[in-house]
Amino acid sequence: MVESARPPRRFEVVEVTGPSMVPTLLDGDRLVVRYGAAVRPGDIVVLRHPFQQDLLVVKRAVERRPGGSWWVLGDNPFNETGDSTVYGAVPGELVLATAVLRFRPREEDQRSLRARLSWAASSLRVLRADASASSRLRAR
């Protein structure tokens, strides 16, 4: 039996709060995240805030920088809640997980069959690295 030097990959469900990732993620969305996964440009990641490390934030990994740090940005260009434009590149060890699946809970007022079918069709979304978002955000 060979032991892997890699830490075991754990999955967890986290809730998104705030508007920094709109339109990709909305306040209240749930994410299935994988801890210890390799990060690629365009991935949505969970990281420790560089200045307030008890706070976890969700951002898009835009570009890997020298030394293993990451430039991370929110998808919402009108939101100034903080990303690498405020705190600079984030050390790689603060990037904890990558998002693999988004689940959008059903709203209370979605009672009609049409509303429920619409929700069912759009509530789950596999999240893959979006290189086009990465290059768009890098140009900001």
**Model confidence pLDDT, tens digit, residues 95-120:** 999 999 999 887 777 778 888 788 77
Given CA atoms 28, 102, 82, 69 in this order, what sign does their dihedral have? positive
Cα dist from 44 to 83, 107, 115, 129, whole Å:
13, 24, 28, 7
pLDDT at residue 7 is higher than 70:
no
Query: Average pLDDT of the chain?
Result: 86
* CB 63, CB 71: distance < 8 Å: yes
pLDDT at residue 4 is higher than 80:
no
User: Smallest Cα–Cα separation from 64: which of 78, 87, 80, 84?
Assistant: 84
State the Cα–Cα distance between residues 50 and 67, nearest whole angstrom: 16
At 60, the amino acid letter reads R
pLDDT at residue 5 is higher than 90:
no
User: Smallest Cα–Cα separation from 35: which of 72, 61, 6, 64?
Assistant: 6
- Domain parsing of the chain, residue ranges: 10-129
CATH 3.30.70.141 for domain 10-129: no
pLDDT, tens digit, 9 for 90 and up, residues 41-95: 999 999 999 999 899 999 999 999 999 999 999 999 887 778 999 999 999 999 9
Q: 67: which DSSP letter?
A: G
Please report the pLDDT score of residue 3 as a whole number.
Answer: 43
